[in-house]
Structure 1
Amino acid sequence: MKMISDIGENLSIILQGGVFEKNAVEVTHIASEYRKIFPKSEIIFSISSSDFLAISNEKLVLCSSIKNNIFDSVCSILNNVVDKFVFCNSVLPLPPVNIKHDNCNANYQIEAAKQGLSKATKEFVLRVRNDFLFKDNSFLIQYERMCNNPRKSFSVFQKRIMICSLFTLNPYALERLPFHYSDWFHLGKLSDVQLLWDVPHITLNYMTYYTSNSYLPGSNELERHFLAKTAIEQYIAFSFFSKKFPNLKLSCHNDIRCRKESIEILLDNFCIFDDKKSPIYFPKYMKDFLFRPNEKICISHNNWNILSQNRNIDPEKLLTCNKDNVYKNYISNFPFLLNALDLKTKIGKHLGKEIVISKTDCGGIALFGPHFDLKEGEYCARIYLSSFVSKKTEMKVRSTLECGRITLNEECFSFENYSNNFSEKQDFLEIDLYFKCFQEIGKDFEVVLEIDQVEDMAISHVEIFDTIKSPSMREMPLFFRYYMGISSLVMKKNLIAKLNKDPYRFFRDPKSILARYPKKVYLSRCKKIIKIKK
């Protein structure tokens, strides 16, 4: 039986934050979407401040000075989709946390959370910023799965609370800030989330701590940007957990005496959302989710999962990284996905999540990058084109090291009167380039795609495959081969072609119930091969 109902019967959703003329429409759309996704949930709108809204008889109304049809619609829609409204009073802004920030609205945040949680009545709660949308209910599946990971001596909550990897900071990386757990959203038992937010308002003295105190010896440049005693995330978490564990220490933001304990508390009481497995809408920070260094600057879902399932691993060994290796990327964990933001173009432009090349008669370099390091081995680079229209095009694809100085392989592809001919059978035109890296560590690896002319072209992404690690069908167990032999009799031709061309991708992608057995067996055999080779 599921902990949280798919339609939200036992879930309160608290949307908290300011509602102003500039964001009212977006916030209203987000509230409406949550109502569609969770029709039986209790939705609470906790407004920290507003320049045009008020509450009258438990409904939203416009301030008397506002006369605008759009804002009339905002009120009408919110009154239809929201169950309860809360307005925060007696709160003021504070000075900034550090020299790069604006004034701090932490007390608005604390008060909005408290007020909203006090109105919630369901067993579970999602307390979330009002500009953050989970686009479906798949994040609940993640939450339930992660709640099954083992817990140890720092467990306090009845169930784990799910949080975001951004910005659950890694205290072994650039900014060494223990107990810095992301506060964008909290999903968990209502009683647990209420405990976490049971903290007093932050004082002016706290926010101006470094105007009269020195930084700790050895503080780095980023850590010396601070004005407040700690970050707000640290204040909330440490205020609660220090009551439960009096021996915890955090005298200031980069006091690292208990950073190992801060990781243990994270593993026992929280779980980290995997944004790659559940769709979200959060335009203010979407680029931060795609910025690869954040996987090291923050505690990623993958690192949380490794540490949570293997409590004998020393967090320091897994998480320690300096400025050089935070911003240096390595191609590993195949197939390795390179999204459009990892790549560059000279004749196109980035539009959304793709690189788009409009009509060109003179051609040029449509794609190059990512300038990551690559270990010695045999690989395939697969370029996915979501659109390709050409009267007559010569396409050169090459793989190189050291920013083009060493060519690993180059192939030419010719197209004539081609107009998205792939679209009836599959989603992409796939261009494969096989190559071998002879160096122990190949520096600044890139894939380059050059064309002489094209009518229209869109590059979605690139995947790098380790061609050695995929077992052949002949290596698989007898029953598996028998099962697949029978299945192939009813398979479509394009699926059989996909199976023969790339078994790994064939077994990785299917979602059919009938595919569960072969998918599990094949992918587990891939993992065994990877472990043996290591």
Structure 2
Amino acid sequence: MTIHHTAAFIRKNISIVVQGAVTRKNIFQVANHCAHWRNILPDAEIILSISTTDCLFFEGTSSSNQLIKRIINNPQDDYTILPAINTFNNACNYLLFNEKSTALPLPPIKDDTRNPNNINYLIESSYNGLSIASKTYTLRIRNDAIFLNSNFIDLYCNNHALPRKSETAFFQKRVLVPWIYTLNPYSDERLPLHISDWLNFGLTKDLKKIWDIPPYTFQDAVFFEKNKPRYANISERHFNLRLAVEQYIYIQYFQKIHPTLKVDYLNDLSSRELCMDIMLDNFYIFSHEEFDLRINKNYQKELTNPYKRSACLTEDAWRFMVLNRSIQYEEILQGDVDKNIRRISQNTFSFKEFTKNASPLHEDLTPIQKIIFFVYSQILSKKMRNKFLLYPQAFFRDSKSFFTQKIIGRIYIKQP
């Protein structure tokens, strides 16, 4: 049975796990982000889960999953970081640091980079934070990323009822993930179940299932250093590890619950279609523009790179496939994905079929909304009508008649 809570309920029953390293270089950014979360979600349970630090130490003894009673500055520092420490104490309900950690950086993920593989820091700090999260919903997010407002909760509620296939819907409710680095396994890097690890938002019980996983081993981290992946293309040959970081994180749980799922190495395509079913039925893939996601400036060029729209599974492609499960994945995801969606939309479906599979935003309309729906269904061109039916938020947002459409959009799209 699908659980449905209102946005108002979620805002009062949400934990936020802010996860990652706190260093001299980023301590003020992390402090600002913690204060920001407290400002936009005043009732949230905020947990700062620190993976590593070069500027803080903890007074007294501590262990994994234990509340740290007090955090103080390192005597070797001057007092410039005290405002950040005070902000942590004022904004956060819990400050976590695992002094008994055995997590270590692993060799680089690819042979064309020198950056270490920090997957075990990610796993440990995420698990520690989630283990004490006590609210119904949790947002687990890296500490260099924020939503500029809490609208992600409203949009999540609007999309909770999108259809799911019961045989591959393993989470009790969809988990929100970004489109960037959620890879299209029919593109250049054919990595099934490579789902972005920047953030997750959903039921706390579902997120705990994702992150209750063993550490990544050194053996797997250097698996393909000498012998590259079988049948690897140019992009895939750069990888050193057996499974990409994002694959490893998500595959652990899904293989437990679906033993026939087979992804033995990063470009193992044995279960590619099953992996697509799992992605469509367990996740809500969102666009950073619609959700006002702000990320470290080093990633901004990635978000605006046109190539990424085919290399990754965008929100448009995800939603189109969720609503049209009879279409073969290759027909949409190979080549120019946006072009394929337009071609299929214009040539395959009738207005009646689109109405039948339309967004949940078109259900249970008020009399005024029914009038708007009828008028738009009659006057719009086929292309614009399809966009209105499948992506009503994007339709009103992108309209050239901005002022008029903004008013009509507010009437038509009521937030829960």
With the length of structure 1 as denominator, give the TM-score of the two structures: 0.61
Distance in 1, Cα, partners of 2:169 & 2:401: 41
SS of equivalent residue, structure 1 residue 170: coil
| Paired residue type of 1:100 | D
1:6–1:137 CA contact under 8 A, matched in 2: no
Q: Deviations over 1:218-273 (max 9, x none)?
A: x1111110111010111111111111111111121111111111110001100111
Aligned to 2:323: 309
Aligned to 2:388: none
**CA gap 1:508/1:236 in 2 versus in 1, 3 angstroms:** farther
Name which structure has the greater RCO, CA cutoff 8 Å, separation 6+.
Answer: 2
1:50-61 alignment runs, 5 A limit: 50-56=53-59, 58-61=69-72
SS of equivalent residue, structure 2 residue 139: strand
Is 1:510 matched up with 2:408? no
Give the Å deviation of 1:54: 2.1
1:118 pairs with one of 94, 116, 131: 131
The gaps in structure 1 that reach 5 residues or longer are 334-475, 482-503, 521-534
| Paired residue type of 2:406 | K
2:281 pairs with one of 257, 265, 268: 268
Aligned to 1:145: 158
Q: Deviations over 1:96-125 (max 9, x none)?
A: 111133111110000001100011100000
Superposition CA RMSD, Å: 2.7
Give the Å deviation of 1:191: 0.6
Distance in 2, Cα, partners of 1:146 & 1:207: 37
1:14–1:43 CA contact under 8 A, matched in 2: yes
| Paired residue type of 2:77 | I
SS of equivalent residue, structure 2 residue 89: helix
Give the Å deviation of 1:292: 1.6
| Paired residue type of 1:98 | K
Aligned to 1:67: 78
1:11–1:41 CA contact under 8 A, matched in 2: yes
1:13–1:127 CA contact under 8 A, matched in 2: yes
1:71-470 alignment runs, 5 A limit: 71-88=81-98, 89-101=101-113, 102-152=115-165, 153-211=167-225, 213-217=227-231, 219-282=232-295, 283-321=297-335, 325=336
1:19 pairs with one of 14, 18, 22: 22
Distance in 2, Cα, partners of 1:515 & 1:163: 26
Q: Deviations over 1:22-49 (max 9, x none)?
A: 1111111111111100000000000000
SS of equivalent residue, structure 1 residue 220: coil
Is 1:38 matched up with 2:41? yes
Q: Deviations over 1:136-157 (max 9, x none)?
A: 0111122112221111111111
The gaps in structure 2 that reach 5 residues or longer are 60-67, 343-370, 377-398
Distance in 1, Cα, partners of 2:121 & 2:294: 23
Aligned to 1:494: none
| Paired residue type of 2:301 | K
Distance in 1, Cα, partners of 2:218 & 2:406: 54
| Paired residue type of 2:42 | P
Give the Å deviation of 1:514: 9.1
Instruction: State the aligned residue count.
Output: 348
Give the Å deviation of 1:332: 10
Name the one with the larger helix percent: 2
Q: Deviations over 1:480-529 (max 9, x none)?
A: 69xxxxxxxxxxxxxxxxxxxxxx63278533369736x99xxxxxxxxx
Q: Which protein has the larger Cα radius of gyration, Structure 1 or Structure 2?
A: 1
Aligned-residue identity in percent: 33
SS of equivalent residue, structure 1 residue 43: strand
Q: Deviations over 1:134-190 (max 9, x none)?
A: 000111122112221111111111111000101000000010000100010000000
Distance in 2, Cα, partners of 1:119 & 1:202: 23
Distance in 2, Cα, partners of 1:200 & 1:186: 19
| Paired residue type of 2:91 | V
| Paired residue type of 1:128 | I
Distance in 1, Cα, partners of 2:124 & 2:279: 24
Distance in 2, Cα, partners of 1:37 & 1:29: 12
**CA gap 1:244/1:99 in 2 versus in 1, 3 angstroms:** same
Give the Å deviation of 1:291: 1.3
**CA gap 1:280/1:214 in 2 versus in 1, 3 angstroms:** closer
SS of equivalent residue, structure 1 residue 5: helix
Distance in 2, Cα, partners of 1:6 & 1:132: 24
**CA gap 1:160/1:25 in 2 versus in 1, 3 angstroms:** same
| Paired residue type of 1:187 | F
| Paired residue type of 1:5 | A
Distance in 2, Cα, partners of 1:79 & 1:271: 33
1:178–1:262 CA contact under 8 A, matched in 2: yes
SS of equivalent residue, structure 2 residue 144: coil
SS of equivalent residue, structure 1 residue 317: helix
Distance in 1, Cα, partners of 2:339 & 2:276: 25
With the length of structure 2 as denominator, give the TM-score of the two structures: 0.78
Distance in 1, Cα, partners of 2:265 & 2:375: 58
Give the Å deviation of 1:309: 1.3
Distance in 1, Cα, partners of 2:74 & 2:216: 30
**CA gap 1:175/1:514 in 2 versus in 1, 3 angstroms:** closer
**CA gap 1:508/1:294 in 2 versus in 1, 3 angstroms:** farther
